[in-house]
Amino acid sequence: MAINLKAEIRNVAGKGAARSIRNNKNIPAVIYGEKKSPVAIELNGRDFEMLLKTPSLRTKLFKIETSNGTEDAMLMDLQYHPVSDAVIHADFKRIDVKKPVNVSVPVEVVNSEISKGLKLGGVLNFAVRKVALRGLVDKIPEKITIDLTNLEIGDSVHGSDLVLPEGVELGLRQAELAFVAIGGKMAEETDMPKHSAATAPATAPAPSAEENTEKK
């Protein structure tokens, strides 16, 4: 679902104007892309800070309403104050909602507590925590979930194994990536050395010094 955002057009640009906006507790921003001129805007600081709590905000479609009309855009970048960590600038990129977009979404693992491999002592290697996807913005999921329930020791999940919504595909070079693997040794492999030692034929004891004398 799209996020509706109201913004004021900034008629004055530059560091001084941006500083004045921040002093008023608001946030300077810009909308660019789609072969149109950039538009400088001003966001309500309090409202935007609340909005930042939304999960996977960079996969969302924004409908930014200004006095010039409404722009379809996605959040591309945020700049933060080095001391206070407050947002001091936002970049939005225009998009055509009828064309696919390229985004990265987080990967999440679930059911680790009942995973077959982990219950047998395996170790989870969660190697890739974001996946690049391509699709229409309203089809892009907030995250991709990997279920560990039936994964056993030695199993792995590659990009090509991920379950994607219809119309969404992997980005370049994602199919071969091993996102998750369960390492470790199976129980029979761990017991093998002990078993081999127990079943190995006994070595005959070396003859004593007295037996050597008697043979002579």
Q: Quick one: 119 and 173 in the same domain?
A: yes
Averaged pLDDT score across all residues of the chain? 88
Tokens of residue 126, six digits: 């969660």
Q: Quick one: 42 and 75 in the same domain?
A: yes
Half-sphere exposure of 172 (CA within 13 A, CB side): 1
pLDDT for the residue 79: 96
Strands 123-126 and 144-147: unpaired
Task: Please check whether residue 27 is in contact with residue 45, taking contact to mean a CB–CB distance below 8 angstroms.
Answer: yes
pLDDT of 130 > 50? The answer is yes
Sign for the pseudo-dihedral over CA of 76, 80, 85, 88? negative
Does pTM surpass 0.95? no
Q: Quick one: 14 and 44 in the same domain?
A: yes
What's 143's domain CATH number?
Answer: 2.170.120.20
Fill in the amino acid letter for 196. S
pLDDT of 206 > 90? The answer is no
Rounded mean pLDDT, 145-170:
97
With cut-offs at 50, 70 and 90, classify the pLDDT of residue 26.
very high
Tens of pLDDT, residue by residue over 29-76, are: 999 999 999 999 999 999 999 999 998 899 999 999 999 999 999 999
Residue partners of 173: CB distance under 8 A and separation at least 6: none
Nearest 5 degrees, angle CA 156-CA 111-CA 105? 65
Q: Quick one: 16 and 83 in the same domain?
A: yes
- Residue 15 falls inside a structural domain: yes
pLDDT for the residue 4: 95
Expressed as residue numbers, the domain containing 111 is: 101-191
Tens of pLDDT, residue by residue over 184-205, are: 886 665 555 554 444 555 555 5
Half-sphere exposure of 176 (CA within 13 A, CB side): 2
Q: Tally the domains of the chain.
A: 2
pLDDT of 123 > 80? The answer is yes
- Identify the helix (H) or strand (E) that includes residue 211: helix 209-215
In the 8-state DSSP scheme, what is residue 122? -
pLDDT of 211 > 90? The answer is no
pLDDT for the residue 188: 60
Which of 46, 66, 94 is the endpoint of a domain? Answer: 94
Which of 47, 69, 94 is the endpoint of a domain? Answer: 94
pLDDT for the residue 207: 56
With cut-offs at 50, 70 and 90, classify the pLDDT of residue 1.
confident
Q: Quick one: 127 and 68 in the same domain?
A: no
Which of 94, 124, 150 is the endpoint of a domain? Answer: 94
Q: Quick one: 12 and 50 in the same domain?
A: yes
Task: Please check whether residue 3 is in contact with residue 32, taking contact to mean a CB–CB distance below 8 angstroms.
Answer: no
Q: Quick one: 20 and 82 in the same domain?
A: yes
Distance CA 42, CA 89 (A): 9
